[in-house]
A = this chain, B = another copy of it.
Amino acid sequence: MVIIGDGALRELGAKILEAAGTPGEEAVWVSDCLVLSNLKGVDSHGVQQIPGYVKAIEDGFLKPGAKATLLEESAATSFYDGNWGYGYSIAREVMAATVKKAREAGAAFSGIRNVHHIGRVGKWAELALDDDMIGIASQPGGVYIAPWGGVERKLPIAPIAFAAPTGKYSPIVVDMSLGPIAGGRTAILAQRGMRVPLGWYIDDDGETHDDPKIFNEGKGAQLPLGQPGLGYKGMALSMMINILAGPLLGHVATHAQAFRRCGVFLGAIDPEAFTPLETFKEGMDALISDMKSSRLADGFDEITVPGEPEWRTMMRRLKEGIYLDDEIYGRILDTAERLGVSTMGYEGNPGKESVVHPSYALKDMYR
């Protein structure tokens, strides 16, 4: 483990991306977004993405500096070509336009095709919070999930984000895949030799197993979200996202190249189109209080609501620094050196933390 402060990590990330051909301001923005993911504990979508982005630039799949082109527009919808730019830049621009449209029309939805990775989808939904709106964001992600009754990887894990403003509580931020586990997180678990409950992964014969390494080597698939007998629900959820970000945007996002062709779907809803903002926020607080008032299950100290564990992790990591696996950080330093970026002063300190994400704390795993 390496511990490094968020400021140093931001700097190093921006330098690497700039050295790979990213305009300076854009490199800072992308690095900020990545480090924010690490701060929130979503390490799968943090700086470990940097070597892959550099490779994508070198391979011509990611075009630094590219801007979105507006293809279609209605009062409540817009559709953009992302021209293979950074998802971070394109999604920021499109989400701002979507929020503006929602202020006029009450709600707005936007699609983007031909765009690179937008990273942690929660980021784009959170942008709507600045305007006291509900934000929605999705990008299909890796094609990892078997359909109900099948054993092959056919469905994307379909990360979805949904953010809603609150009164006295921190905002609700749903930010999760609609499959068992994101690809980047599988990689971390495999790296650390951790096991997961049965029912997440199957092998090539359709038998469930507990070893992320097998999946990480390209074997088998993930089962769709749901208890035994309910995987058809997870399949339907993944298909819904895949329809909105696939056929709706003029392409099919089911095949193995989905990551390169994937669409993005962003939305904003203005609560004031329905109800006064203060009433909405009071309702949100009442809903959260009601969750937290539940009698607890064995092994739990409290009920947390979506976004709360990530917010706490961020508060802690802002103080303590960010924990990265040696191998993962090593690949980042290697990339820097290959591009002629000095890594002096960015070595970090040795650390021991092995927590992955609050949701994956082992005590919670088997319920």
Residues of A within 8 A of B (CB): 72, 74-77, 79, 104-109, 111, 134, 146-152, 154-155, 162, 164, 172, 174, 176, 178, 180, 196-200, 202, 206, 223, 225-237, 239-240, 242-244, 246-252, 254-255, 269-271, 273-275, 279-284, 286-287, 290-291, 293-298, 300, 302-306, 359-360, 364-367
User: Which residues of the partner chain B approach A105 to less than 8 Å between Cβ atoms?
Assistant: 74-77, 105
Cβ–Cβ contact A273 & B74, under 8 A: yes
CB pair A254 B359 closer than 8 Å = no
Please list 28 pairs of residues, one from A and one from B, whose beta carbons are closer than 8 Å in the complex, sorted by A's number. Answer: A107-B107, A134-B243, A146-B297, A147-B291, A147-B294, A148-B303, A150-B295, A151-B296, A151-B297, A174-B237, A174-B239, A180-B227, A180-B230, A197-B227, A200-B227, A223-B367, A229-B364, A232-B359, A246-B283, A247-B279, A247-B280, A247-B281, A247-B286, A248-B275, A250-B283, A251-B283, A252-B290, A255-B290
Among A74, A162, A172, A286, chain B packs the most CB atoms within 10 A around the CB of A74
* A273 proximity list for chain B (CB < 8 A): 72, 74, 77, 79
Contact B229 A227 (CB under 8 A): no
Chain B minimum-CB-distance residue to A77: B106
Query: What residue in chain B is nearest A197 (Cβ atoms)?
Result: B228
Q: Are A284 and B247 in contact (CB under 8 A)?
A: yes
Q: How far is the CB of A225 from chain B (nearest CB, A)?
A: 6
B154 touches A290 (CB 8 A): yes
The answer to whether B106 and A106 have CB atoms under 8 Å apart is no
Tell me which of B79, B149, B162, B280 contacts A296 (CB under 8 A). Answer: B149
Q: Within 8 Å CB of A364, what residues of B?
A: 149, 229, 232
**B108/A236 in contact, CB under 8 A:** no
Q: How far is the CB of A64 from chain B (nearest CB, A)?
A: 27
Q: Which residues of B contact A280 (CB under 8 A)?
A: 247-248, 250
Known: A178-B233, A225-B233, A294-B147. A106 touches B76 (CB 8 A): yes
CB distance from A232 to the nearest CB of B (A): 6
User: Beyond A107-B76, A290-B254, is A360–B297 a contact (Cβ under 8 Å)?
Assistant: no
Residues of B within 8 A of A365 (CB): 228-229
Complexed CA–CA distance, A366 and B302 (Å)? 31
Q: Are B287 and A254 in contact (CB under 8 A)?
A: yes
Note all chain B residues with C-beta closer than 8 A to A236. Answer: 162, 174, 176, 306
* Contact status A106-B74, CB under 8 Å: yes
**Complex-state Cα separation, A246 to B225, whole angstroms:** 25
Residues on B with beta carbons closer than 8 Å to the beta carbon of A294 = 146-147, 149-152, 154
A213: shortest Cβ distance to chain B, in Å? 18
Contacts of A72 in B (CB 8 A): 273-274
> Do A107 and B297 form a contact, CB below 8 Å, given A148-B303, A283-B247, A287-B243?
no
Q: In the docked arrangement, what's the CA distance between A247 and B276, Å?
A: 10
Is B252 a contact of A79 with CB atoms below 8 Å?
Answer: no
Nearest B-chain residue to A255, judged by Cβ? B290
Most central of A230, A231, A298, A360 by chain B CB within 10 Å: A230
Closest to A284 in B: B247
